[in-house]
Amino acid sequence: MMERRAGVPLAAAIAESFTQELGELLRAGIDIHQACGALAQQSAYRKPATEIAAALAEGGTLSGALERLQVPREVYVFVQFGELTGDLARALTLSCEYLAGKRRMRERLFRLLAYPSLLFVLNVAVVYLLSSVVLPSFARMYQSLEVEEGAEVHVLFIAAALFRDVAPVLAGMLALLLLVSLSRKKEATRMLTQLSGKVGPLRRWLQFSRGYRSMYLLSFLLSGGIDVLAGLEHLRSLDAAGMGPCFAEIRDRLLSGATLSDSLAGRDEFPVIVSQVFALAERTGDLAEGARRLTDHLERALTRRQEGLVRWAEPVLTVMLGLTVGSATLVLMIPMMDMVGRLH
């Protein structure tokens, strides 16, 4: 077996297109060795195809080779499940679809957050410019004209000086926190998830997101002939969707005699609809179809929540922009009006 090597992770975009191409070749009935040889002819896929072919030649597995290539975790988890069900082509296709859906969701979030983030940075920059350049100029004018500023102007000068001193420190702390988060991404993500779970709307968002990822994987296993207990054990062992302990508790409840819907009921990790759908699926006896329908529903629900967040953000951004313009106008007008009044 090839030893695990630490290298540059395969880019998500390359991993997505590579798995799509490999899955299409396997669906066409081409042997995996021949498929890797064909993909190795393309420069973009030469590295992954060559390393996978070498790993398979030494008796390794496709999932192990993909893990050594440091592809996104979802890819080799799906392939590992495909090796269990015997349907690698479908596993590769589903992993590609999952990555594409995840990419679309990330792009929607970026489009949603980019404008407010830019607006916030510009607001802070305008306030800092006013407090560090404009208001000190007014203070020097008061001193040169030997005019005593009014109480409201005095408070404004003190607030500007405080912001001028504190803003660089806060910016440095934020930059340091960002660097630490990037260097310890997994721990930072877990901490952020725990904090988000305490806020109502974000907690519901996390429930739908976790439910979607978990049901996507579980539906694939069930449709491939894996029973529920074995599927939950595989999800636990791979810590799929970052919820290994949760799957272990659900599996233990099933072993104690509870139904799947009862095991899922009341869990904070999932929305209520998850246990309700599986309760109906248990009556029909088709858990795989229930998991598939549930996956589709959760995906649509996530999309609707994103669209609702966009609609909610638009008026908030308008108010923020108005407050910024109004505050800048007041900061300029208050000392000017006070100085003119005192000079007269």
Report how far Cα 196 is from the mean position of its chain's Cα atoms: 12
**What would the CATH number be for the domain defined by 12-99?**
1.20.81
Pick the CATH number of 187-344 from 3.40.50.150, 1.20.81.30, 1.10.3720.10, 2.60.40.60: 1.20.81.30
Listed in sequence order, the residues at least 6 apart from 230 whose beta carbon sits closer than 8 Å to its beta carbon are: 221
Q: Are 210 and 241 in contact (CB under 8 A)?
A: yes
Q: Nearest to residue 220, comparing CAs of 103, 102, 105, 92? A: 92
Q: How far apart are alpha carbons 343 and 324 in whole angstroms?
A: 29
- Hey, what amino acid is at 71? V
pLDDT per residue as tens, the chain (344 positions): 334 444 456 666 787 788 888 888 988 888 888 988 899 898 888 888 898 899 888 988 888 888 888 887 778 788 888 888 888 888 888 888 877 877 877 787 777 777 777 877 887 888 888 888 888 888 888 888 777 777 888 888 888 888 888 888 888 888 887 777 666 665 555 565 555 555 556 677 778 888 888 888 888 888 878 888 888 888 887 776 567 888 889 989 989 988 889 998 888 888 889 899 999 998 888 888 888 899 888 888 888 877 777 677 667 777 877 777 787 777 778 888 877 777 76
> What is the Cα–Cα distance from 66 to 71, expressed in whole angstroms?
6
CA 331 vs CA 127, 326, 335: distances in Å: 9, 9, 7
Torsions phi, psi of 39, nearest 5? -70, -30
Cα radius of gyration (the chain):
28
Own/partner pairs, 324-328, CB within 8 angstroms, 24+ separation: 324/122, 324/123, 324/126, 327/127, 328/126, 328/127, 328/130
Does this model's pTM top 0.85?
no
In the chain, where the domains are located: 12-99, 187-344
